[in-house]
Amino acid sequence: MNKILAVLVSFLVLIFASNSYSQISIKVGPMLGLTTPSSDYSGETQDFYAGSKYGMKSGFHYGVLGKFVFGPIGGRASLSYVTMSNNGAADPTQPNSTVDVSNSIFTVTIGAEFGITIPFTPVRPYAGIDLLISSISGKVNFQGTPNVSSNEMNISSGSRTGLGLAIGSEVGFGKKFILDLSIRYNLINLLGRSYDGTTGSNNRNDSYTFINDEADPNFGGPTSHHPIGASRNIQTIQFNVGLLFSLL
């Protein structure tokens, strides 16, 4: 029993020593990855015209990441930018009807992480939660589509507040560099949804030139100019890679 206890104590001491080594660290560096739309943010261009989804496809994001770690607990802050787009048929009843749509999202995140250093390895797996503040804008260009203008139009910028969840791992190499790998699920418009189009408009332009993630109050009226009948989720999955330099 004494030998088993001694081995257990020794193992715990090694874990404590491993986690105690470099208790405080500050890391910063560039990051990039792939952003994939999820839920109502995905779909096809015909869904975008119908007002049910945004019809986005995957795009590459890039930015800057900073971390502060104290033992198993840490803080995370980042700036990132991504553009996603899609093009194809708009109104399925019109053979020459097309749309080209793009969204750009600039996001500031502030969050917390809990990680565990694996003894005798440079690996530190972690789980995290982030507060997201995002600005969304874009462009849309319909051609040959009824009730909308056939020219490029700007999508007015809108701000949304959301929540991000993550799992990942840091892998150290050398004395100063850390590879940060994570998968992140972002609920971008958890707060701040709105319908900003002009409800009395006699065409459908306003349905597409604002974020309009809340239902149009005039949906179901006597015309087809108000297609957005329900609140829409803007959610993404990110595969993220960061190359961090240890400052402390």
Residue 12 clears pLDDT 50, i.e. is over it: no
pLDDT of residue 137: 98
Average pLDDT for 204-217 = 94
Over residues 15-73, the pLDDT tens digits come to 444 444 446 889 999 999 999 999 999 999 999 999 999 999 999 999 999 999 888 89
Which tokens go with 220?
A: 């179901």
Question: What proportion of the chain, given as a percentage, has pLDDT over 70?
Answer: 88
Q: Alpha-carbon distance 238 to 36, whole Å?
A: 6
Q: What is the mean pLDDT of the chain?
A: 90
DSSP per position, 78-140: EEEEEEEEEEEES-TTSTT-EEEEEEEEEEEEEEEEEE-PPTTSSEEEEEEEEEEEEEEEEEE
Over residues 135-190, the pLDDT tens digits come to 999 999 999 998 899 999 999 999 999 999 999 999 998 889 999 999 999 999 99
Entry pTM: 0.87
Residue ranges and CATH numbers for the domains of the chain are 23-246 (2.40.160.20)
Residue 6 clears pLDDT 70, i.e. is over it: no
Hey, which bits of 144-202 come out as E strands? Answer: 152-173, 177-191
Q: Are 53 and 86 in contact (CB under 8 A)?
A: no
SS3 label, residue 194? coil
